[in-house]
Amino acid sequence: MKIAVVIPAAGMGRRMGTSQPKQYLALAGRPLICHTLERFKTCESVVVVVEPERVELFRREILGTHDFPREWHVVAGGPERQDSVRNGLEYVPNTCDVILVHDGVRPLITFALIQTVTHKAFDAGAAIVAIPTRDTIKRGVEGFVSETIDRTHLWQAQTPQAFRADIIKKAFAAAYRDNFSGTDEASLVERIGVPIALVQGSDWNIKITTPEDLIIAESLVKQFPLLCKEGSGEVER
């Protein structure tokens, strides 16, 4: 099985409140994005999507100085995450069977989880990593609760999201044809009627969004090698 990964990392990260986008902030002494890239070194093809003005700098400063393969693609992102992923998909070789999409700002993903979701997608067509929602979910309107939503079947989608190559390409073509925009790839694939398997994710696999997340990640990253060595490495629930 030939595997490609598209890593969207072209966001500005405004919620972090720093002048530098969050993917370049230091985590355990090196840029956060380097931890994420490290997890995908065994993929056949890696496409990293960055802000258009950073493409050359990224090749030089991130791939070059942190010992990543020079042949990895670094491509310019678009205004929304979906546009960035679309740009990345253009560089995936036609020979790849499964295409993964993984947020550049989720550095604590394990090889075990990447493998599980990849194999599931190869067999089923599409699979995403997700965790069951544990908090009670309310709908809020103008500062007041308007509804409590039954959380029985609710899951929080994480990444990687994995798809057989033909399926994700078809889903993106349909989304742009219909002017549909989604906040993850699975929502595009759902629209074309392909069932998406759920793979139990991990509480470790956080998306670094706020300064608090970075503090949590600093503490988790110290335990990370241990997590990766232990069986599947995923948190039991």
Residues lying near ligand C5P in the complex (CB under 6 A) are found at 8-11, 23, 49, 77-81, 84, 103-105, 207, 209
Q: Which residue's CB is nearer to ligand C5P, number 59 or number 207? A: 207
User: What CA–CA distance (Å, rounded) separates 171 from 190?
Assistant: 8
CB of 186 to ligand C5P, least distance (A): 14
CB of 84 to ligand C5P, least distance (A): 3
CB of 208 to ligand C5P, least distance (A): 8
Q: Which residue's CB is nearer to ligand C5P, number 51 or number 234? A: 51
Taking residue 182's Cβ as centre, other Cβ atoms within 10 Å add up to 16
CB of 76 to ligand C5P, least distance (A): 10
Return the closest-CA partner of residue 171 out of 146, 141, 191: 191
Q: Which residue's CB is nearer to ligand C5P, number 200 or number 209? A: 209
CB of 144 to ligand C5P, least distance (A): 27
CB of 142 to ligand C5P, least distance (A): 25
Q: Which residue's CB is nearer to ligand C5P, number 10 or number 220? A: 10
Return the closest-CA partner of residue 99 out of 147, 152, 168: 168
β-pair type (3-8, 197-200): unpaired
Q: Which residue's CB is nearer to ligand C5P, number 125 or number 168? A: 168
By CB atoms closer than 10 A (0-12, 13-18, 19+), residue 158 is: buried
Q: At what angle do helices 165-177 and 81-89 cross, to 10 degrees?
A: 130
CB of 182 to ligand C5P, least distance (A): 11
Q: Which residue's CB is nearer to ligand C5P, number 31 or number 77? A: 77
Task: Name residues whose C-beta falls within 8 Å of residue 105's C-beta, 6 or more positions apart in sequence.
Answer: 9, 11, 13, 22, 23, 32, 33, 36, 207, 208, 209
Q: Which residue's CB is nearer to ligand C5P, number 79 or number 231? A: 79
